[in-house]
Structures are given as C-alpha cells and as structure tokens.
Amino acid sequence: MKVRERFRQMLSEPGCIITPGVYDGLSALAAQLSGIDAVVMGGYGVSASRLARPDVGLLTMSEMAEQLKMVCDAVTIPVIADGDTGYGNEVNVERTVQEYEHAGAAAILLEDQEFPKRCGHMAGKAVISADDHARKLKAAVAARQDPDFVIIARCDARGPLGLDEALRRGHLYLDAGVDMLFIEAPQSVDELATIAREFSGAKLVANMIEGGKTPELDAKALDDMGFKVVFWPCTAPYVVLKNLVDVFTALKEDGTTARVRDRMLSFTEFNNTMNLDRFSVCRAH
C-alpha cells in the first residue's frame, strides 16, 4: 500500500493518531523506530535545526521542500508537511502543493496567517481575510495530482480575532473542499471541546506544545473529544537541545563523555541503526 493511501486508511480507522514533530531524516527515523505511525515536519523544528532561529517565517518554500524530501526518504511512515501560508497567493500555493507532493508528503497543512507568519502559539499573529484563504485552499485542492494527498486547512484566527471567528472560518475552509481542519491555539479545555462539537464529523487536528497556549491533554482525552490527529510538534527540538547542552557541558567539565555515556548510543549501535552493512563493499586487491 502506498504511503498516502495508508494515511487515508489511518484517518478512517478508530483512534487518535499520535504525530510527533520531526525536522530531519534522523529525527524522523527515531520516530519510526519508536513505533510511531505518522510524523509532522513543521517549520518550528526546521527553522531551529537549520538556522538556529525561531519560527517567524524565515524559511523559503524551496528550503522546506528540500528538507521534506530528506525526511520522506528516511522513513516509510506518512509525513505531514507544514506548508505555512503557501508562500504567496493562489499561484504560489499551487506550486507549493505540487512540490510537497513530489517530495513525498502524505499531507500538507496551509494556514491563514499573514506573511511573514510565526508559530501559532506565539504572540503577534495576524491573519488574512477568510475569503482570501478559502480561495488559496481551493487552489490547493485543484493543484494536487494524487487524490490521496491530504490537504489540511489551518486557522490561526483564535488569537487575533477570537474563537467565534475561528469557528466561522473553519466552516468556510471545509466548504473549500479540504480533507481536515486544524483550529490552532485554543486556550482552554472548553474551547477544545467546543471545536470538536462544532465540527463533529469532520477530521480534526489538535496541537500540543509543551508550555504553549493550549492545555496539554493526552491522546485518549483528545480522541474522546473527537480529534483524529494530534501533533506534538516541538517535543524533538526541546529534547535534543536540552540533552546536547547537558552532554556537552559534561564533556567540557570532565574532558570526557564517560559520565553521560548512558545517554548515548555506542559506535556500533549507531552504525547498526544507520544500516551500515547495506553500504559495506568488499574490495578485491
């Protein structure tokens, strides 16, 4: 079964899909080795890993598509890809959808923020008109070449305009023909429940950011509410940065990594994970 077909099937099966954020081939492989069924490649982690900068719209579409291809090539599980604002108008959205398809994504999400955008849990967001974003979503639906490629509408209006406007926009975006809806950054459990009730029957995305604006619920609670896919988009960069600083600090203080060796793989273990044997070549002399 092709990866997009499999993701479509997953969306029709019972249960909430736990979807951690990844930003490169290695983080995606770690998710797959952990038994994770799908991942999301978000701009937050890619901006941090490539630029050591925050998610404030610094990456281009071509940079994201390049990173996406490396992620998709590293794993066999579905990859949901952050398409940001589509990087322009309807024409730009068309190209973004096609480039992400070619890179191997199973799904793309497109948001209604003004460009340059920023992480949905940061202050200072602004959104374009609902009608303008609906036109961009219609362009995305028309541009996809594989009918199994999933298009997710993301709405960032909750912060700047309030929940009622976010709900209104959600209906408009679903009417544009998208497959899933993602109302970003609700600010209470009641708001999460309101979203789930308002769009009962639709495929919904929730977003859990450690320390973000939305209360942290586990996958079962979100499944019970009616959410189908739950992102944990920032877990990986938070874990990696803290642990690298801790290990490098130990190395600086001790002159060796012996004290933190239990937090590392060995040379052999890491090479086995990378399937080194596949690349071994016997040379005759």
pLDDT at 38 over 90: yes
Is 1 among the domain residues?
Answer: no
The number of distinct structural domains making up the chain is 2
* Mean local confidence (pLDDT), 114-119: 90
Together in a domain, 205 and 254 = no
pLDDT at 284 over 60: no
* Mean local confidence (pLDDT), 254-268: 96
CATH (domain of 96): 3.20.20.60
Burial class (CB in 10 A: 0-12, 13-18, 19+), 168: middle
Q: Which residues contact 171 (CB under 8 A, 6 or more apart)?
A: 199
Taking only the tens place, the pLDDT of each residue in 140-187 is 999 999 999 999 999 999 999 999 999 999 999 999 999 999 999 999
* Mean local confidence (pLDDT), 40-57: 95
pLDDT at 281 over 90: no
Query: What is the per-residue pLDDT for 283?
Result: 55
Pairing assessment for the beta strands 79-82 and 39-41 based on DSSP bridges? parallel
Together in a domain, 228 and 266 = no
Distance CA 221, CA 15 (A): 11
Distance CA 204, CA 179 (A): 9
What are the angstrom distances between the C-alpha of 73 and each of 8, 86, 277?
A: 20, 22, 18
Query: What is the per-residue pLDDT for 19?
Result: 98
Where do runs of H (alpha helix) occur along the chain? 3-12, 25-33, 43-51, 61-74, 90-103, 130-143, 158-161, 163-175, 189-198, 219-225, 235-254, 267-273
Is 201 among the domain residues?
Answer: yes
Confidence of residue 216 (pLDDT cuts 50, 70, 90): very high
Distance CA 260, CA 33 (A): 22
Distance CA 285, CA 246 (A): 46
Taking only the tens place, the pLDDT of each residue in 80-103 is 999 999 999 999 999 999 999 999
Together in a domain, 131 and 259 = no
Query: What is the per-residue pLDDT for 25?
Result: 98
Is 63 among the domain residues?
Answer: yes
- When the pLDDT of each residue in the chain is averaged and rounded to a whole number, the result is 96
Is 2 among the domain residues?
Answer: no
Is 284 among the domain residues?
Answer: no
Together in a domain, 185 and 260 = no
Together in a domain, 229 and 254 = no
CA atoms lying within 13 Å on the CB side of residue 119: 20
- pLDDT over 70 percentage in the chain: 98
State both tokens at 81.
């890809």
Which residue in 108, 128, 117, 55 sits closest to 87, CA to CA?
A: 117
Taking only the tens place, the pLDDT of each residue in 122-134 is 898 999 999 999 9
Query: What is the per-residue pLDDT for 53?
Result: 96
Chain CA centroid to CA 17, Å = 13
pLDDT at 1 over 90: no
Together in a domain, 172 and 198 = yes
Give residue 16's domain range: 8-233
pLDDT at 285 over 80: no
pLDDT at 63 over 60: yes
* 213-226 core/surface letters (b: 16 or more CB in 10 A; e: else): bbeebebebbbebb
Chain CA centroid to CA 115, Å = 19
pLDDT at 250 over 60: yes
Together in a domain, 142 and 261 = no
Query: What is the per-residue pLDDT for 280?
Result: 76
Together in a domain, 103 and 226 = yes
- pLDDT over 90 percentage in the chain: 94
Task: State the CB neighbour count (10 A cutoff) for residue 275.
Answer: 9
* Mean local confidence (pLDDT), 14-40: 98
Is 114 among the domain residues?
Answer: yes
Cis peptide before 116 (omega within 30 of 0): yes
Together in a domain, 34 and 165 = yes
